[in-house]
Structures are given as C-alpha cells and as structure tokens.
Chains A and B, each alone.
Chain A
Amino acid sequence: MNIYQPTLMRIESVCDETPDTRTLRLVFKDPAMAERFSFKAGQFGEYSVLGHGESTLCIASSPTRTGYIECTFKKVGKLTSALHQLGPDDLIGFRGPYGNHFPLDKMHGANLLFIAGGIGLAPVRCVIWNVLDQRDRFGNISILYGARSVSDLVYKKELAQWAGMPHLRLWQTVDPGGETADWTGLVGFVPTVLQQVAPSSDDTFAVICGPPIMIRFTLPVLQSLGFPPERIYTTLENRMKCGLGKCGRCNIGSVYVCKDGPVFNAAQLQDLPPDM
C-alpha cells in the first residue's frame, strides 16, 4: 500500500455541535485495520470525501476510547461542506495518524490547565478525556473555554458533564454580546477572563488551542501568571496535503508542522520565524 492510500471509515453517528459545526464518530470498515490502529493525543489525520478531496483534521476523541475515532469540523470550505452532507453509514477515506503528540508522560503528577476557544476545543478535548480516563495520574484539572456566542459553544453535553465533576474547575465564557438571557457563564474574551480567574501556575502545564488571535493574546497572560514557555503546549494548523513531510506547504521556516508538530510548546514557537 503506498503512503497516500486512504482506508475506508464508516460514519457511525453524527452530532451537531452548532449550526455549522459537526462531530462524526467513525469506525474502520476493515476490522483488521480497526484492530491495528492506535494513536496518541494530539495526532491528526487526512480525511477524504472521494470526489471532493482531503482535509487535515485532528483526531478529537481520546486514544483511551477505542473502537472509533471522532472528528469535529466547521463547514467552511470545499471538503468540510462535502463532509457536512454525509450521514450515518456513509463511507469516507482516512489516512493517519500523523504528527507528534502532547507529552502526557511528562505531565504525569502535575496539574493541568486547558484553554480553548471555539472549535479549538476539539484537539484539547482529546487530551481532556485522555487525562480524565487516567484521572489518578494527574493533579488538579482546570478548563477555560470560550466561544463567540452561546450557540458557538461546542461539546455542550460534555461541558455539562465536566461542570459536574469533582476536582475539576470549568470556566465557560462567551465574547461580549454573545450571551443569552439565561447564560450563567462568564462574559469576556479568553485572555481577559484568564487574567481575572488567574489560575495558579504551580507545577502546572497549560494546553491551549484556539484562533491565532486568541493564542497571541493568551500567551503573555500565561507568562505573567508564571507559566514558563516550556510548560505551555499548543497545536498548530497549517494547510497540508500529504501530512507526511513531502508536499512542502506546511513549513514555518525549517519546521514542518506535519512532522515536527502539530504540537509545540511556547518556547519552540518563540524560535519560529513570523510565518504564521
């Protein structure tokens, strides 16, 4: 099998997160492939709708939940529009897993702070469930999640689950103007809210993902809270085709996001040229 050959996955179920954001639960059509497949939190795949092309999306489910993978996507382009047309039992192509992963081994015993904006919760959610499924290996867990408006919050059922969990702090926020009359969460942009709730950086790793502008303004807040850049992890996205270090389009300087990433710490980001 050549390296560009996808395998078929069947859509098991569809969950509409928001009017334009959807989560697909996928299972391998070939049971042998399902048996063989494994991945680590933070890795990505190339998903294809045959006739429409391929697109790069993270694996949004946790590696601790076996037998399926999930991807969450927003309908914005050609491939995601085609993907949005599909329903249960439809078949799609998949290649992966590719790229590096979050260093969970290094985080054992430490506290974790997760920060996500909008659909950026997808890769973070993979780590959150991975950690929750191995709860005794980690310290305190805090989650700060923000979206433009209440209707833009993804994984609403899971947010409710997390809110009810002991030893887990969850702050939910929406941008000013995005709140509804019955909204009980916070109002404000993620960096501002982070400054207000000021979580401790003691023995804590931060995992952050969201729109570039959110990441840009959140990093300085984390540093002012005492997080060293080596303890702040994020996952980058860039347009990709192969995911294998061949097609030459995801470079940031001499870094290949597909092979050196997509997971980087803030110290590594500081060394990258401003090509993002």
Chain B
Amino acid sequence: MQTRSIKTKELSALLDQLRAAGVEIIAPARAPGVGRAVVYRRVSGFSDIIMGVQPRGTLKEHFLPASERILGWRRGGAHLELLEASTDCAPRIVLGAFPCDAAALEVVDAVMGWDYRDEFWFNRRQATIVVSIACDGGDESCFCHAVGLSPGSTRGADLMFVPVDGGFQVEVTTGRGQAWLEEHQEYFSEAGDSTQAVAFQERATTRSSQRPRPHMESIGRWLKNNFQHDYWDQLALRCHGCGACTMVCPTCHCFDLVDEPEGPEGGSRRRNWDTCQAATFTLHASGHNPRPGQGARYRQRILHKFSIYPARFHELLCTGCGRCSRVCSSGMDMLELLGEIHDMASITEPTTSPEARNEP
C-alpha cells in the first residue's frame, strides 16, 4: 500500500471540504460542559481536534451507541403497529482514532457478525472511514504491546497518520483507504523523507515496550483450568462492581434491550449498554442468579476477554487501551492483574517464568 504525506493546512482544508459535502467528522475533541474531557465527538473542523490525548470515552459509542432505538410501536384501540428502526448511516470519517480504539472495532466485528449480522453495527462500519493517528506510546496504564498490538498498529484503520513536523506521514492500510485517498488526492503530497516518522514510531515502541508483558497464552490456559480459585474471591474484596471499566472499554459490547413507553399510544425499544458487573445482569425472574457474587462477576469479565472470546473468535477481547485501569475507583489495574495471573500460571507452567513478563 501507498505512503503519502499531508500538511496540517491541507488536512484542515480537506476536512472543510468533507463537511461541506455532508460527511460527518468524528475526532477527539473537548466535550462541552463540565470537565471538558476529551472524547470522540462530531467536530466542525480541524481546529476542534485535540491530538495526543487519549479520549476518555471510546470510539465504540459511534458504532454501538450507549442507548439507541431499535424498534418503535404505535397503538390505537385493538390496533398495534411495529415501526422498524432505521439502520442507515450517513457517510462519516473518524480522524484521529487511537490505534487501540481502531483495532477494537475489528475485534468486535467478529461477534457482531456471528451468524446473525447486526446491521446497526455493520452499516455504521461500512459508512465510516477510520483514520488513526499513531500513538506516542501511552502512559503507565497502557498495555497494547501485551495483547499483540503496538502504538503504531494499523489494525481496524483504513489509513494511519504519523505525526511529523508541519503535518503527517500517511500510510494507506486498506483498499477502502486507498480509494478514499485517491478521491481526495489533491490534498496529499509525496511521502518524502520518512526519517521523522520512523523516529516517532521507534520512540513510541520503546516507551510502550518498557512496561511488563504478561504471557497471554499461558494466562489463557490458567483461566481455563482455574474457574474455581481463591483469586476471584480476593478480587471481589477490591472490586465494588460499579461497572465503570465496562463502560469505558472499547471492546465490551454487552447490552440490554429495554422497552420505554412514550405515553399510552406508543414507545421505543432501546438497546442500552449493560455491564456484567451488575448482579441483575444474569438474575433470573425466579430469583436464581448464576453469578451471585462479585468474584463470579469479575471472573466473567476477565474470562470473557482472555478466555471465552479467544475460544470462540480466536482473538483477545482487549486492545490494551488501559482505560479500565485509569477509571477504576478502587485502583484495580488490568496490567497488574494480568501479571498476577501470569505469575500463578508460571507455577503450574515452569516454562513461563515470573520474570518473563517484565522482559521487554
């Protein structure tokens, strides 16, 4: 695939042109209101975009909204009519996806397309060009390198921008990305000297790879064999089950379906994000709960990511973005927990040394 470059001024002009053509632009930008946190949101132009700060919310909410209408109904006397919800999506571009967030989209594709195709998800996927910007290596909570990704990973992105002086080096990673670039080629220049881009990527990789690297295969095996283990009870003493980790996770996709009456004549069925950390998640109407305690519920989160999803879809349900660790009010750090599991696995698997996880 091609390598090109784009100057900041040209990128700004390109975004203006896209917006004029009716393309929705989603990018990291400050949210309005209290806190003004950086989130992925619809922006009006280049000047809104904040680069180099990992957004607090993930990109998933633009593909699987926190709450969306999936059905409507209208009633009148004995008459009842179901109103189909539209799954259409207008053309969009994400500019400045973090590589961990772009990769998450492709990871979640697997379950959304499993036998029954979720058109809400895939119509948004198809309508959206994803441009990621290479990450500078992240912070102490990041662990993309441990789950098979890197600050420069292009997974899930149609194009990858690498910051250089005055603009970006552009790597095209998909056929769709190539077609899009050709459509707008007047804004792009020849790739030129790649020294700066290479140096940026090397710096990022060095920073990220200095952090521990637990061995995911042996963790997977340990999880398979230790469904019942004191470790889960210990975690339950720390986790208070708020579920914030699942809300900020780019790969958590569990949802609830809820009817919301809107007056006596009609209403909407909505799909809302849900969390496996809530007791009601699995509670039967009879009162029986297969996961009655927090230990069982935290175990489910770890298992879903590092055992169940790999067993069913051959990949980890985690891109190492580190948001779960940053947001946890009781300081549970995913990289630390994976390290603990790695260490327990190393007792049963002597080939996995406890030291190995700290070797870059």
**Contact surface of A with B, Cβ cutoff 8 Å:** 1-8, 48, 50-55, 76-80, 89, 91, 93, 212, 237-239, 241-242, 244-249, 251-254, 256, 259, 273-276
Residues of B within 8 A of A8 (CB): 80, 82
Which of B2-10, B28-36, B113-121, B337-345 lies at the interface?
B113-121
CA distance in complex: A276, B308 (Å): 16
Contact residue among A1, A50, A89 (Cβ-Cβ distance under 8 Å from B75): A50
Q: Judge whether A249 and B281 touch: CB under 8 Å.
A: yes
CA distance in complex: A253, B258 (Å): 26
CA distance in complex: A244, B283 (Å): 19
Q: Is B66 at the interface (CB under 8 A from chain A)?
A: no
Q: Judge whether A89 and B257 touch: CB under 8 Å.
A: no
CA distance in complex: A89, B283 (Å): 32
Q: Is B182 at the interface (CB under 8 A from chain A)?
A: no
Residues of B within 8 A of A248 (CB): 253-255, 274, 276, 304
In the complex formed, the residue of A with least CB distance to B117 is A3
Q: Judge whether A89 and B78 touch: CB under 8 Å.
A: yes
In the complex formed, the residue of A with least CB distance to B64 is A246
In the complex formed, the residue of B with least CB distance to A52 is B259
Smallest beta-carbon distance B233→chain A, Å: 15
Contact residue among B227, B271, B300 (Cβ-Cβ distance under 8 Å from A274): B227
Q: Judge whether B118 and A3 touch: CB under 8 Å.
A: yes
| Of listed A76, A80, A248, residue having the most chain B CB within 10 A | A248
Residues of A within 8 A of B93 (CB): none
Q: Across chains A and B, which 4 residue pairs bring their CB atoms closest together, nearest first?
A: A77-B285, A248-B254, A273-B227, A254-B311
Q: Is B196 at the interface (CB under 8 A from chain A)?
A: no
Contact residue among A55, A80, A246, A254 (Cβ-Cβ distance under 8 Å from B308): A254
CA distance in complex: A111, B119 (Å): 45
Q: How many A-B residue pairs lie within 8 Å, measured between CB atoms?
A: 125
- Write out, one digit per residue, whether chain B residues 56-89 have a CB within 8 A of any chain A CB (1) or not (0): 0000000000000011010100101010110100
CA distance in complex: A53, B312 (Å): 29
Mark out the residues of chain B between 107 and 140 whose CB falls within 8 Å of any chain A CB in the assembled complex. 111-112, 114-120
| Of listed A55, A242, A251, residue having the most chain B CB within 10 A | A251
| Of listed A1, A2, A48, A274, residue having the most chain B CB within 10 A | A2
Q: A1-B84, A248-B304 are in contact. Are A53 and B71 (CB under 8 A)?
A: no
Which of B40-48, B187-195, B207-215, B286-294 lies at the interface?
B286-294
CA distance in complex: A226, B70 (Å): 50
Q: Is B319 at the interface (CB under 8 A from chain A)?
A: no
In the complex formed, the residue of B with least CB distance to A248 is B254
| Of listed B75, B82, B261, residue having the most chain A CB within 10 A | B82
Q: Is B282 at the interface (CB under 8 A from chain A)?
A: yes
Q: Is B102 at the interface (CB under 8 A from chain A)?
A: no
Q: Judge whether A239 and B283 touch: CB under 8 Å.
A: yes
- Other A-B contacts than A50-B80, A247-B254, A249-B282, 16 sampled, CB-CB below 8 A, are A3-B117, A3-B118, A5-B85, A50-B267, A51-B259, A52-B259, A54-B257, A76-B285, A91-B80, A245-B111, A245-B114, A248-B304, A249-B276, A251-B304, A254-B311, A275-B227
Q: Is B228 at the interface (CB under 8 A from chain A)?
A: yes
Residues of B within 8 A of A53 (CB): 257-259
Q: Judge whether B256 and A2 touch: CB under 8 Å.
A: no
Residues of B within 8 A of A252 (CB): 290
CA distance in complex: A76, B283 (Å): 13
Q: Judge whether A2 and B304 touch: CB under 8 Å.
A: no
Smallest beta-carbon distance B95→chain A, Å: 29
CA distance in complex: A65, B49 (Å): 62
Q: Is B239 at the interface (CB under 8 A from chain A)?
A: no
Residues of A within 8 A of B70 (CB): 2, 4-5
In the complex formed, the residue of B with least CB distance to A81 is B285
| Of listed A8, A51, A76, residue having the most chain B CB within 10 A | A51
CA distance in complex: A157, B78 (Å): 31
CA distance in complex: A238, B288 (Å): 10
CA distance in complex: A6, B300 (Å): 30
Contact residue among B114, B255, B259, B308 (Cβ-Cβ distance under 8 Å from A251): B308
Smallest beta-carbon distance B249→chain A, Å: 12
CA distance in complex: A7, B282 (Å): 26
Smallest beta-carbon distance B271→chain A, Å: 7
Residues of B within 8 A of A4 (CB): 70-71, 257, 269, 271
Residues of B within 8 A of A7 (CB): 82
CA distance in complex: A89, B285 (Å): 27
Q: A50-B75, A50-B267, A246-B112 are in contact. Are A239 and B284 (CB under 8 A)?
A: yes
Q: Is B27 at the interface (CB under 8 A from chain A)?
A: no
Smallest beta-carbon distance A91→chain B, Å: 4
Q: Judge whether A276 and B118 touch: CB under 8 Å.
A: no
In the complex formed, the residue of B with least CB distance to A7 is B82
- Of the A-B pairs whose beta carbons lie under 8 Å apart in the complex, a sample of 9, sorted by A's number, is A3-B117, A7-B82, A51-B73, A76-B285, A79-B285, A80-B285, A248-B274, A249-B276, A252-B290
In the complex formed, the residue of A with least CB distance to B87 is A2
- Write out, one digit per residue, whether chain B residues 232-261 have a CB within 8 A of any chain A CB (1) or not (0): 000000000000000000000111111101
Smallest beta-carbon distance B79→chain A, Å: 9
Residues of B within 8 A of A77 (CB): 285
Q: Is B296 at the interface (CB under 8 A from chain A)?
A: yes
Q: A54-B257, A239-B284, A241-B257 are in contact. Are A2 and B119 (CB under 8 A)?
A: yes
Smallest beta-carbon distance B226→chain A, Å: 10
CA distance in complex: A89, B90 (Å): 40
Residues of A within 8 A of B120 (CB): 2
Q: Judge whether A76 and B111 touch: CB under 8 Å.
A: no
CA distance in complex: A53, B85 (Å): 16
Q: Judge whether B84 and A2 touch: CB under 8 Å.
A: yes
Smallest beta-carbon distance B184→chain A, Å: 32
Q: Is B164 at the interface (CB under 8 A from chain A)?
A: no
CA distance in complex: A256, B115 (Å): 13
Q: Is B303 at the interface (CB under 8 A from chain A)?
A: yes
